[in-house]
Amino acid sequence: MAANKTDYTDENVTAFIEGLDKEQKRKDSYYLLELMKRISGEEPRMFGPTIIGFGEYRYKYDSGHEGTAPLLGFSPRKTAISLYVHTGGESQAHLLEGLGKFTMGKACIYAKKAADIREEALVKLMRATIDEVSKKHTRL
């Protein structure tokens, strides 16, 4: 079975944020860092080279593939901020209403900037995600 390509590293989160090329991306990153830290109760850590993760859980798919992932996370990408705050399940679909201006991947939310997302709705979504992940998987 193939090993995970992404895992937590010892890279410095602040150095990563300070290395971002746009001031708005740095501001949005610090805002999301503080918000996710408060909601998760976890310290931020680099998950791979570009994702800032909070907390950790172990998953195992029916296929046998298993690994670890952050409870919550984000990545300030070139064209949008990737928010890892959603399980992708139907049980959370109603939590996306009123979230703001975003697009969706399978379980990832893309926003051009943090101001496009309503904080109150994001907090509800993050709490629901932590609850759902904690019920289905082993938190580390």
Give the pLDDT confidence score for residue 64 in this predicted structure.
84
Residues of the chain with pLDDT under 70: 1-5
pTM here is 0.92
Residues 113 and 102: their CA atoms lie apart, in Å, by: 9
Computed over every residue of the chain, the mean pLDDT equals 93
57-77 residue pLDDT tens? 998 888 888 889 999 999 999
The third-level CATH classification (topology) of the domain covering 13-139 is: Aspartate Aminotransferase, domain 1 (3.90.1150)
Give the pLDDT confidence score for residue 3 in this predicted structure.
57
Give the pLDDT confidence score for residue 40 in this predicted structure.
97
Q: What residue ranges do the domains of the chain occupy?
A: 13-139
Residues 83 and 50: their CA atoms lie apart, in Å, by: 12
Q: Which residues contact 39 (CB under 8 A, 6 or more apart)?
A: 72, 123, 126, 127, 130
Nearest Cα neighbor of 114 from 26, 46, 21 is 26
Q: Are 94 and 57 in contact (CB under 8 A)?
A: no
Give the pLDDT confidence score for residue 53 in this predicted structure.
98
Q: Which residues pair with 74 in a beta bridge?
A: 52, 83
Residues 90 and 12: their CA atoms lie apart, in Å, by: 35
